[in-house]
Amino acid sequence: MRILILGGTVFLGRAVARQALAAGHEVLCAARGESGAPVGGARFVRVDRDEPDGLSAVEGEFDAVVDVARHPHHVRHAVTALAGRAGHYTLVSTGSVYADVATPHQTAATAPLLPPDHDADPAADPESYGRAKVACERLAAGGFGAGRTLLLRAGLIVGPEDPTGRFDYWVRRYERGGEVLAPGGPDESVQLVDVRDLADWILTAAGRGLAGPFDGVGAPMTRAEFHAGLAAGTGTAPPLTWVTQEFLLERGVVPWAGPRSLPLWLPLPRYAGFMSRDAGPSLAAGLRIRPLAETVRDTRNAFRDATHIDESLGLGIDEETALLREWHAR
Ligand SMILES: NC(=O)c1ccc[n+]([C@@H]2O[C@H](COP(=O)([O-])OP(=O)(O)OC[C@H]3O[C@@H](n4cnc5c(N)ncnc54)[C@H](OP(=O)(O)O)[C@@H]3O)[C@@H](O)[C@H]2O)c1
C-alpha cells in the first residue's frame, strides 16, 4: 500500500511507519518536524496543519491515510486537501471521547459520546481533548465517508518510545526491587495496548477497509495479572503490598500520571468504565495482543538505551517508603 501518515514522528505514528515499511509498504510522513523525526526509510514532507492550505505539499494518491490529529481544524484541512485521494482513512481517536467513564464493559458502537467541540484547542485547554476528538471523528467520517473511515479509539498505549513515562514507571519500579506499593485491589481492572499491536492492527484494518468506531485496546486484565506481567517481563518478584485507594487519596497521592502519582491507577467507582471496555469487537476485527511480559521486557530494553529518563513522574523512593511505613503502622 501507499500510506500517508499525518504525524509519524512520535510514538504511535513512528510505530505505524516502522511496521508499514517492514511489511513492504511505501510510507510518507507529514509533520512540522518539531516533535521528533520519522523512522529511517520513510519519506518525509514538512507541513503545518494549522494553515488552511498547510497540506499542499502532500502530492499523489494514497491507499491509506493514518491521522493522529487532536485538533478539529487539522482534520478539516485534511478533508479539504485529501478527500478523493485517500482510499481508507484511520483517525486515531481516544477513549476520552466517551461521556460515561463509570460504567464498565461498554462497547464502542453503542457507548454515548461527549458533545463535539469543533473550536476546541486541546493544546491550550487539555480538558477539551475528548470533545475535540469527537469533533475530529465527525469531520473525518463526514469528509472521507463513514464507510471507509476507521475511528480507532485508543485506550492506554504503552511500550517502547512511550513519551508519557506512565508504563515505564512500573517497569522501572520492578527493576529497582524491594517492597512495591500496589494501589487499589488485585481484582480491579487494567486495560492497555502495546503500541506495536495497535500499529499492526491499523495496517491490517486499512488493508481490509475496516470502518466505523472501534476501541483500540486489549481485553481487561486484573491488577494482579498486571503485576504478574511486570514480574515476568522484568524477571523479578518483589513483594507486593496492596494499599487502598482511600488511604492513598487521603495522603494526596495522585491517580493516573504526574508527580507524586501512582500511574495507571484510577479511583473507583468514578472511573470503573475507563479500563474495562469490551474489547470483543476489536479482537474479532483483527486486533492481536502480545503477552504483557513481552511488552514489559521490550519497554525495559528501550529505556535502558534512552539518554534521558523523566524521574519526576510517579512516587519517589522516599515517598513510597514513607507511605508503606505508615500503612503497616496504622
Ligand atoms: N498515548 C496514549 O496513551 C493515547 C491514548 C489514547 C489516544 N491516543 C491518541 O494516539 C495518538 C498518538 O499519536 P502519536 O503517538 O503519534 O503522538 P502525537 O503526539 O499525537 O503526535 C502528533 C503528531 O502530529 C504532528 N503535528 C502536531 N502539530 C502539527 C501541525 N500543526 N502540523 C503538522 N503536524 C503536526 C507532530 O509532529 P510535529 O510536532 O513535528 O509537527 C506529531 O508527528 C494521538 O491521536 C492521541 O490522541 C494516545
Kindly report the length of the chain: 330
Query: For residue 22, what pLDDT is reported?
Result: 98
Cis-peptide into 269, omega within 30 deg: yes
Query: For residue 304, what pLDDT is reported?
Result: 73
Return the CA Rg of the chain: 20
How far does residue 296's CA lie from ligand 1's centre (Å)? 23
Ligand 1 atom 1: residue of nearest CA: 157
Give the cell for residue 267: 479511583
Contact, 167 vs 112, CB < 8 A? no
Q: Are residues 143 and 14 in the same domain?
A: yes
How far does residue 7's CA lie from ligand 1's centre (Å)? 6
Task: Determine the Cα–Cα distance for residues 125 and 119; give it in Å rounded to an integer.
Answer: 11
Q: Are residues 147 and 58 in the same domain?
A: yes
- CATH number for position 64: 3.40.50.720
Q: Are residues 127 and 6 in the same domain?
A: yes
**288: buried, middle or exposed (CB in 10 Å: 19+, 13-18, 0-12)?**
exposed
Task: Determine the Cα–Cα distance for residues 93 and 111; give it in Å rounded to an integer.
Answer: 14
Query: For residue 309, what pLDDT is reported?
Result: 65
Query: For residue 249, what pLDDT is reported?
Result: 98
Task: Determine the Cα–Cα distance for residues 168 and 225; give it in Å rounded to an integer.
Answer: 17
How far does residue 10's CA lie from ligand 1's centre (Å)? 7
Q: Are residues 13 and 120 in the same domain?
A: yes
Angle between helices 195-208 and 11-22 (to 10 degrees): 60
Q: Are residues 19 and 120 in the same domain?
A: yes
Q: Which atom of ligand 1 is nearest to the CA of 8?
A: 43
Number of C-beta neighbours around residue 33 at 10 A: 15
Secondary element (H or E) of residue 184: none
Task: Determine the Cα–Cα distance for residues 279 and 277; give it in Å rounded to an integer.
Answer: 6
- CATH number for position 320: 3.90.25.10
Contact, 217 vs 191, CB < 8 A? yes
Q: Are residues 261 and 317 in the same domain?
A: yes
Q: Are residues 105 and 251 in the same domain?
A: no
Q: Are residues 177 and 323 in the same domain?
A: yes
Q: For residue 27, which of 42, 15, 8 has the smallest C-alpha distance?
A: 42
**2 phi and psi, to 5 degrees?**
-95, 115
Query: For residue 271, what pLDDT is reported?
Result: 97
Residue 216 domain-assigned (yes or no): no
User: Does residue 31's CB lie within 6 angstroms of at least one atom of ligand 1?
Assistant: yes
Q: What is the pTM of this model?
A: 0.97
Ligand 1 atom 14: residue of nearest CA: 12
Q: Are residues 86 and 12 in the same domain?
A: yes
User: Does residue 49's CB lie within 6 angstroms of at least one atom of ligand 1?
Assistant: yes
User: Does residue 72's CB lie within 6 angstroms of at least one atom of ligand 1?
Assistant: no
What range defines the domain where residue 28 resides?
A: 2-154
Ligand 1 atom 22: residue of nearest CA: 7
pLDDT tens per residue across all 330 residues of the chain: 999 999 999 999 999 999 999 999 999 999 999 999 999 999 999 999 999 999 999 999 999 999 999 999 999 999 999 999 999 999 999 999 999 999 999 999 999 999 999 999 999 999 999 999 999 999 999 999 999 999 999 999 999 999 999 999 999 999 999 999 999 999 999 999 999 999 999 999 999 999 999 999 999 999 999 999 999 999 999 999 999 999 999 999 999 999 999 999 999 999 999 999 999 999 999 999 999 999 999 999 998 766 666 778 999 999 999 999 999 999
Query: For residue 129, what pLDDT is reported?
Result: 98
User: Does residue 152's CB lie within 6 angstroms of at least one atom of ligand 1?
Assistant: no
User: Does residue 225's CB lie within 6 angstroms of at least one atom of ligand 1?
Assistant: no
How far does residue 69's CA lie from ligand 1's centre (Å)? 6
Give the cell for residue 166: 506512565
3-state secondary structure 57-76: CCCCCEEEEEECCCCHHHHH
Task: Determine the Cα–Cα distance for residues 93 and 70; give it in Å rounded to an integer.
Answer: 8
Ligand 1 atom 34: residue of nearest CA: 31
Query: For residue 91, what pLDDT is reported?
Result: 98
Query: For residue 308, what pLDDT is reported?
Result: 60
User: Does residue 156's CB lie within 6 angstroms of at least one atom of ligand 1?
Assistant: yes
Domains: count for the chain = 2
